[in-house]
Structure 1
Amino acid sequence: MTTSNEIPRQALLRRGFALEYTTLGWNVVGIAVLAIAAVSARSVALAGFGLDSLIEIGASTVVIWELSGTGEGRRRRALKLIGGAFAALAVYLLVQSTVVLATGFRPHHSTLGIGWTAVTAAVMFALAAGKARTGAALDNPVLKTEGRVTMVDGLLAAAVLVGLVLNATLGWWWADPAAGYVLVYYALRETKEIFSGEH
């Protein structure tokens, strides 16, 4: 028999799926856009943000998988997959940003990158807020964690945007790899929070 509080839960689950599918679709498009922008501008920050979009796709897929089933074991595996992806991103960006700074590699301007990261920041902040509310209402730690992933995605988009604008307007080429270090910081912080929450 269906109780009165099961109906809103089903509505919340549908909202959770909708938020994740929206995030998934946005980042699939984003990878293509960022690949073009990163190659044309030779930007480590845009390349790193493209990888972050790939991680977001993986994280959204994990949450969709988790929302489709139940069980503490599934939740723990889902959180570990998200945390592992963040750790890999941090290592890649740390190496890339350091090499770029050490060699003085200078990226080109990227109007496409500036436009995409600006819009992405706004979209990710809106999606993150929706996931936070829905995850809290469902008492679902995986959805809440992935909401933080999406918030980080928005913050990273803003950081990359600042680096791209400074490079384009002031010629501060080092702002691009510096934005990469910002991504490293947030990726490591999220990795630590995810794995420390496991114990």
Structure 2
Amino acid sequence: MTCENGCCAPAVLPERRTALTRRVRWLVAATITYNVVEAVVAISAGSAASSTALIGFGLDSVIEVASAAAVAWQFSGDHEARERTALKVIAVSFFALAAYVGFEAVQALIKAEPAGHSTVGIVLAAVSLVVMPGLSYAQRRAGRELGSASAVADSKQTLLCTYLSGVLLAGLVLNSLLGWWWADPVVALAIAAVAVKEGREAWRGQHCC
């Protein structure tokens, strides 16, 4: 057994470790690429529709890029030595996400200003709802086998993006069809609470336990 940052996993053969490290790098690269595209589309569509939810979703993608970049940096060298630093970066990204989403959700509830319809936003949220769970699962599985708490933490960041996709999709559809402008900010507050919890776990290095 090997234990790093409280993250214990069975011993892995050198050949398998090399293969897993390479897999994590590819998954992180895919996550970064997708989130860059997602951020550009979401922020552009959000600005056009005056949708705080869409803009917030785009900024969440920027935070996800920062989290994935931290893991990419870690695995570009001695990933075991860089584990703790990468976890701190991921934790801060969770807290930043929670702060922004929570603030914007409260603002949306206070102002009670419904956003306009956004077909682009609905399609983007639906696509992300399909893509993100696969990326999260693959990275979490490789990270656990490798014994990397940071890789698992980043996979949870991606999974949180999946939840946000679902919330965004529900909010945009309910707003467009029924005029329920409050649906998105209310659920977004719950997502912010989850982000705080995940941030604490990342800071303590508890994501593999």
TM-score of the aligned structures, taking structure 1 as reference length = 0.91
Structure 2: 5+ residue runs without aligned partners? Answer: 1-11
Between stretches 172-181 and 154-163, larger displacement belongs to 172-181
Higher helix share: 1
Amino acid at match of 1:96: E
Cα distance in 2 for partners of 1:68, 1:23 equals: 16
Equivalenced residue count is 195
Instruction: Give the Å deviation of 1:90.
Output: 1.5
Structure 1: 5+ residue runs without aligned partners? Answer: none
Per-residue displacement from partner, 1:123-163 (whole Å, max 9, x unpaired)?
A: 11000110111111211111111111111111111111111
Listed as ranges, the matches of 1:18-167 within 5 Å are 18-70=26-78, 74-167=82-175
Give the ranges of 4+ consecutive aligned residues of structure 1 lying more than 3 Å apart after TM superposition. Answer: none
Tell whether the 8 Å contact from 2:87 to 2:205 is kept in structure 1 after alignment. Answer: no
Amino acid at match of 1:42: S
Instruction: Give the Å deviation of 1:73.
Output: 5.2
Instruction: Give the Å deviation of 1:85.
Output: 1.6
Please state whether the residue corresponding to 1:26 is helix, strand or coil: helix
The alignment yields a C-alpha RMSD, in angstroms, of 1.7
Please state whether the residue corresponding to 2:64 is helix, strand or coil: helix
Cα distance in 2 for partners of 1:184, 1:128 equals: 19
| Number of the residue aligned with 1:7 | 15
Listed as ranges, the matches of 1:173-184 within 5 Å are 173-184=181-192
Cα distance in 2 for partners of 1:71, 1:147 equals: 16
TM-score of the aligned structures, taking structure 2 as reference length = 0.87
